[in-house]
Amino acid sequence: MKAYLTRRYHFSASHRLNNDAFSAEKNRVVYGKCNNPHGHGHNYVAEVTLCGEVDPATGMVCNLADLDMFARTNLLDAFDHMNLNTLKCFANLVPTTENLTIEIFRRFQSGFSHAHLERVRVEETGNNSFEYAG
């Protein structure tokens, strides 16, 4: 019996969208106000969806305490109140929310032995959200 578990995590981070390969003018055209030299921040909501067989003994796809501990280390401690531009994982990537979503997926992909990571969804604003399913 396959079931899905989605857990939401909240964190705040800043970034500046800027591609060093572009001219200053092209960066302004492509990224608009998100190219502000001082950066800007978001209150992100990350949703992590796991799927798998329901364990007959526990009745769960994944223990929430284990998931939360993994998220604390691999998501919240890594990104909360950080400038994404300064992080090693974005050294060669523009820290768009698309790239952030892929990075979160990468971090969660091998974290669970009995559940499979189905997708990651990151809400940047009330109007913008991004999903990645590998």
Which is the catalytic residue, given 34, 51, 114, 118? Answer: 34
Q: Is 81 among the residues known to form the active site?
A: yes
Neighbours of 118 (CB within 10 A): 16
Which is the catalytic residue, given 42, 62, 123, 124? Answer: 124
Q: What angle do CA 67, 9, 19 make, to 5 degrees?
A: 115
Q: Is 34 among the residues known to form the active site?
A: yes
Q: What angle do CA 50, 78, 106 make, to 5 degrees?
A: 40
Which is the catalytic residue, given 10, 40, 53, 81? Answer: 81
Residue 45 structure tokens: 């909501």
Catalytic residues: 34, 81, 124
